[in-house]
Each structure stands twice: as C-alpha cells, then as structure tokens.
Amino acid sequence: MGIIEKLRLDNKKAFVTGGARGIGYNIAIALAEAGADVALVDLDEGVAKESAEKIAASTGRRVIALKADAAQKADVDRMIDAILKEFGRIDAAFCNAGICKNIPAEEMTLEEWNQVVTINLTGVFLTAQAAGKVMIKQGGGSIINTASMSAHIVNVPQPQCSYNASKAGVVQLTKSLAVEWALKNVRVNSISPGYIGTDLILNAPALKPLIEKWNAMAPLKRLGKPEELQAIAVYLAGDSSAFTTGSDFVIDGAFTCI
C-alpha cells in the first residue's frame, strides 16, 4: 500500500467540536474528503447544519450536525451517544472548541478566567475523556486536541493570560493522556496553530490593527490559512500516524521561532 492510500480515512468515523466554522469546519472538510464520515458539533446548531450539508454535498460522505457544549459533561455524554447511534464507533476525535478573551490580568474577573479555562481546557478534557472511553472499548482510535502557539509564547500586544494558560494546559493534558492510553491503542496529539485568518478574524474591524502588528512580526508576513491545517489533521486521524502520540505540532509560520 502506497503512502497516499495509507493517508485515506475510508470508513473512519470522526467528530469535530467547534465544527461549524473556522478551523473546525476546515478540518471537517479535510476528514470527509479523505473518506471519513463526520459529526460537526457546535453550540450554533443552525450554522452546523448548513456546514454539514455543504460538506456532505461536496464530498459524498455522511456528515451530521449536533448541538452540544463541550464544557458540560451531560452535553458531551449526549453527543457521544448520538454519534455512536449514527456511526456505531468513533475512530477520530478532534477536540477543537475554544474561546479567547483579551483582558488585562489585573482587570480580569474570576468569572471571565473560569469561562476561558473551562471551555478551552476542561472542555477538551471532558471531550477527550468521553472519546477515549469509547476508543479503549473498541480497541483504538486517535484524539487530536487544538492547542495554540500561545501555549509556547506570550502573545503581544493583546493581553490574554487566561487563553495562554489554558492552551499550555491542553498541551500537557495531551501528553499525559498519550502516556496513559499508549498501551490501549489510543493516540493523543495536539495541533498548535499560529494566527489563522478565519472569516471571523478577517471580518472583525477591531482586529485589523492587531493583524497588521502580527503580520509585521511574522517571518512569513501573513496570517495562516485554515486549510493549511488540514494535512496534519488527516495524518493524525489515520493509521499512517500509528507511532505518533504525545506530540504537539506547532504550525505557525515560524512565529514562535522569533
């Protein structure tokens, strides 16, 4: 079997949290194009349904939309049950849901801190834990968590200590789960994107001055594109990455090198 065939995800079953838009949506497209059936999980059920229909129409794969809050255990449990009812198994779980708040540390309330950490870190744990239980029972699977280059650097000029701390937690959580589940054939890796030009970022007028500053600092002098994260996600979701676990893939155009 050649490398292209090994990268195929034919008959694999996957889900993507935060899958209605942006990075999650582009990852879902890639998984479906590689042959997987995919569940798009998002709080915005309407957009998730529209996105699922688009991906299904363009790829011919089975793509469903589910509403769930990844930071609420009851929602995650219902999500997993619904996916198993539709697909019968879970081969790849992309734990991607997250938020960011740019608030100076001295002004941040405990509520604001908890919201970011709960969604970005606790939500990843709950989702990975639920998927991991299924994968252990079925004999294996791959979990991919969205961390960030912010796990490795302090972003400037925006103040985002809660985001940075939560994403650093995701990287260490990923490594911990990878070691715990290594002999159970459940692989756990993370992807740490740099600044990615999703529609929400590009269409936000308030972010334009920040984008100009980020691009001025960036070695490539531009934002990343959501589709530039697709290849690594397909690789990690499939059998060709069988020896890859506990790794964090920084895809940032060398931003963290400066």
pTM for this one? 0.96
Q: Of 167, 190, 192, 235, which is the active-site residue?
A: 167
Residue 109, both tokens: 């309330």
225 is known as an active-site residue: no
163 is known as an active-site residue: yes
Q: Considering only CA atoms, which of 225, 204, 5, 11 is closest in space to residue 100?
A: 204
Q: Of 51, 142, 148, 240, which is the active-site residue?
A: 148
Rounded Cα gap, residues 99 and 22, in angstroms: 12
Rounded Cα gap, residues 80 and 63, in angstroms: 15
- Over residues 228-237, the pLDDT tens digits come to 999 999 999 9
- Over residues 135-160, the pLDDT tens digits come to 999 999 999 999 999 999 999 999 99
Q: What are phi and psi of 91, to 5 degrees?
A: -95, -30
User: Options 1.10.1040.10, 3.40.50.720, 3.20.20.70, 3.40.50.10090; which CATH number does 3-251 get?
Assistant: 3.40.50.720
Q: Of 49, 142, 162, 163, which is the active-site residue?
A: 163
Q: Which residue has the tokens 């690789």?
A: 235
- In single-letter form, the type of residue at position 35 comes to G
DSSP 51-76: HHHHHHHHH-S-EEEEE--TT-HHHH
pLDDT at res. 1:
73
Q: Considering only CA atoms, which of 203, 204, 202, 179 is closest in space to residue 189?
A: 179
190 is known as an active-site residue: no
